[in-house]
Structures are given as C-alpha cells and as structure tokens.
Amino acid sequence: MKRIQIRTIINRVTNQERIFTMFVCICKGITDHQIKQLVTESGVGSIRELKQHLPLGSQCGTCVKVAQNIIDNTIMDESLFKEVG
C-alpha cells in the first residue's frame, strides 16, 4: 500500500508544470528564459536590441541564430494571445 501512495506522489510531482532551461550561449551562460523574458517584458524584437541587454554573440557567435529563433517564436506566441481591434 505504501508503494502505491509513493507512486501517486511521484506522478503528481512529475505531472506538474515542468520548467526546462536551455543554454543558448554557453560562452556567456545565457539561457532561453532570459531571452524570452526580455522579449516579453522589455519589448526586445531583434538581436541588435538583445545585445543591448545581454553580451550575446560576443565570443564565438554560434548562439545568434538560435537566439533569433527564440525571439521570433516568443513574439509569435505572444501575438496570438493579444486582441486585435
């Protein structure tokens, strides 16, 4: 009986909202959550604007394309929920 209770608790914990973080820039330790937050809260809409807030692409530069995709997807996701009128 205790095993069933433990499994139930584990299932409840694992079925809760999962938050995964992806490092976009390994050189500077910049995550996708940081980029999404700047897009939604500060209105960042381009790599040029993002670089004013984070040192993105200042080392090897391989993160720039991924960061642009995150910006685009976040803007697209946010615009789906805004009322047009």
pLDDT of residue 15 exceeding 60, the answer is no
pLDDT of residue 18 exceeding 60, the answer is no
pLDDT of residue 85 exceeding 80, the answer is no
72: Cβ contacts below 8 Å, ≥ 6 apart: none
pLDDT of residue 31 exceeding 50, the answer is yes
Q: How many CB atoms lie within 10 A of CB 37?
A: 14
Task: Give the separation between CA 48 and CA 21, rounded to whole angstroms.
Answer: 23
Domains detected in the chain: 19-80 (1.10.10.1100)
21 confidence band (pLDDT: 50, 70, 90) = confident
State residue 25 phi and psi, 5-degree precision: -120, 105
pTM of the model: 0.71
